[in-house]
Amino acid sequence: MHDPDELLQQYLDAVESGKPLEDILHELPEDSAEMAELIRLASAVRSLPHPQMVNAPVQKERILKAAQQTTVPVAQPRKPVATPWYQRIFAKPAARWAFAGVAIVLVAFMAFILTSSPTNVQAATAMDIKGQVEIFIDSSWVPLSEGDLVYSGDHIRTGADSSATLVFYEGSRTVISPNADLTLSVVNGGAGRALQVVMDQTAGTTQHSVVPLQGKDSTFLVHTDTGDASVRGTSFEVSIINSHSRFQVDKGMVLVYNDQNAVLVTAGQASTASTDMTITDPAFDFKLVGAVTAMGETEWAVAGVTFTVTPQTVIDPGVVMGSNVVVKGRNVDGVRVADSIALASEDQDQSLTFSGTIESISDTEWIISGQHVIVTDAMIESGLAVGDVVEIHFHIADNGDWVADEISRLEENDEDTTPTVEVTDTTTPGTETVTPEVSETPTEETETACVGTEQQPTGQKLAERYGVSYEEIMGWFCKHYGFGEIDMAYTLSQASGKTVEEVFAMREAGMGWGIIKQQLEPTPTARVKPTHRPKPTHKP
């Protein structure tokens, strides 16, 4: 039997001489799998472009001479010591080239891993600096500059007509508005694009756009003196207004809570938290930017839109008739209630918006949360249907009509972007239809994880209206259906005889509520007459 070392050297020499690899491998003994791999590696490295060794024979001769000088003199006979075969392999040029090739590949791979790893995972980057933006460092306030890193514990404030944006390593961002005060208490990133952010906000307004968080340990929390906002992937706004905080959601959901109460605020809604630890029920929000056209004891108007002013409404000093203001408020039981009235900046143009659920659709007029809106010239997002939650940009016509300029959907269709609170979900990921049995009603523990310990007033009303348990209603809510959709599903179920599960299965299959309604209503009509409040269970 031939020595394995000699065989390997023989085959490596054959590779160097240009003999085809297939012929060499064919000649190998059957038990030479390890040797075959080495030969393949040597052949692959030989085929790569690489610099040629200069004076290789001379260098080889010098190496052999040096090796001979360090050995025991020949005059002292001794039994030759066999050199391990792997040492003799790497003494050959081809083997050395093979080893060098492997080393280069490993170094390149490690460099790729290092350069592709996220940077600044323990800091946010300051961008879009405008006006006076300062950070507290070494017991003094210093200007915050474009590109500066903001770490855990850093304190930031903005002056009048000033703003800044904090960008986190995975893409989430926070816009700090004028006259704000914010401490970035915790900022940390980790493997798998995990993110942990905790902010303490004591003044002003912040807008947050949070990329869906990865991993159960990720968190994005905004803390105020009266309540906290916890999310997992959404767009929302937090404002400090005197003694209370206001939380408004553009996309997804936000869990607002304190030591005594908790509510889940969904897209298009707002809620407030006061120093007495009360948190108002979520309600659809509105925002008016324009001139004050009426000032009464309890009723004001901006750009022709009337609203109610309460003792809790915070009004900037200096607001008078004709002042250009920003009004933020909520539609509480059909009444527009202002939370704050602030003087607008010079660059803010007139803008009127409100959110609500589509209740009725016709060619010329829609009813959205009880408000009649003319839609003849509006830019309307495609696919909208009854039950969808939308945002409306509008203006007031000379005759007092609300005329829509643009109508867009607020609720996301992609479930990956809408969940914002950790939910214990027992369903199989990727399920295309929702068909829960009665035995699958969410447990109290699951419900609490989704919406908190306090019952949702809207959920209670729907449960009473349709004679089902509160847990059943909130079970659908925790599956990311809005209350408007749940109301619509139960209404259509009663009218058509279909089960609620079947109605939601149609929705999960991709059908819009308008199409579902057309298929399930007992007597479809060509035109829906506008009503103050639609009753889908009766003929229009």
- What tokens appear for 431 in the block? 């399920």
Residue 446 lies in a domain: no
pLDDT for 423: 35
Q: Which residue has the tokens 């080393």?
A: 103
Q: Which of 391, 409, 427 is the last residue of a domain?
A: 409
Question: pLDDT value at position 404?
Answer: 94
Say which CATH number the domain at 153 has: 2.60.120.1440
Q: Which domain holds residue 59?
A: 4-116
* CA–CA separation, 338 and 326 (whole Å): 10
- The DSSP code for 337 is E
Residue 153 falls in which region: left (phi positive, over 0), alpha (psi -120 to 50) or beta: left
Whether residue 106 is found in the same domain as residue 142: no
User: Which residues are CB-neighbours of 8 under 8 A, at least 6 positions away?
Assistant: 35, 38, 39, 85, 89
Q: Which pLDDT belongs to residue 69? A: 55
In the prediction, which pLDDT does 181 show? 96
Q: Do 146 and 255 share a structural domain?
A: yes
Element (H, E) at 208: strand 194-209
Asked if 312 and 260 sit in the same domain, the reply is no
Domain-embedded: residue 512 = no
Contacts within 8 Å (CB) and 24+ apart, 201-205: 201/238, 201/240, 202/240, 203/157, 203/179, 203/240, 204/158, 204/176, 204/177, 204/178, 204/179, 204/180, 204/239, 204/240, 205/177, 205/180, 205/237, 205/238, 205/239, 205/240
Residue 279 is classified by DSSP as B
Domain presence at residue 32: yes
Q: How many domains are there within the chain?
A: 3
For residues 213 and 229, membership in a common domain is answered with yes
Do 216 and 264 lie in a common domain? yes
Among candidate residues 221, 255, 283, the one where a domain is terminated = 283
289 and 191 in a common domain: no
State residue 515's pLDDT score.
73
Same domain flag for 232 and 260 = yes
Residue 445 lies in a domain: no
- How crowded is the C-beta side of 403, counted as CA atoms within 13 Å? 10
Residues of the chain short of pLDDT 70, as ranges, are 1-5, 34, 44-103, 105-119, 191-193, 412-454, 480, 510, 514, 521-540
Determine the Cα angle at 252 with ends 248 and 257, to 5°: 55
Give the integer Cα–Cα distance in Å for 173 and 167. 4
**pTM score, two decimals?**
0.57
> Which of 409, 437, 464 is the endpoint of a domain?
409
In-domain check, residue 401:
yes
Is 257 domain-assigned?
Answer: yes
Would you state the pLDDT for residue 214? 77
Instruction: Please indicate, yes or no, whether residues 265 and 382 belong to a single structural domain of this protein.
Output: no
* Model pLDDT for residues 240-256, shown as the tens digit of each residue: 988 789 999 998 889 99
Is 527 among the domain residues? Answer: no
Q: Are residues 314 and 226 part of one domain?
A: no
In a domain, 168, yes or no: yes
Phi, psi at 530, each rounded to 5°: -60, 135
In terms of domains, do 221 and 133 share one?
A: yes
137 and 250 part of one domain: yes
Based on the fold, state whether residues 58 and 71 are members of the same structural domain.
yes
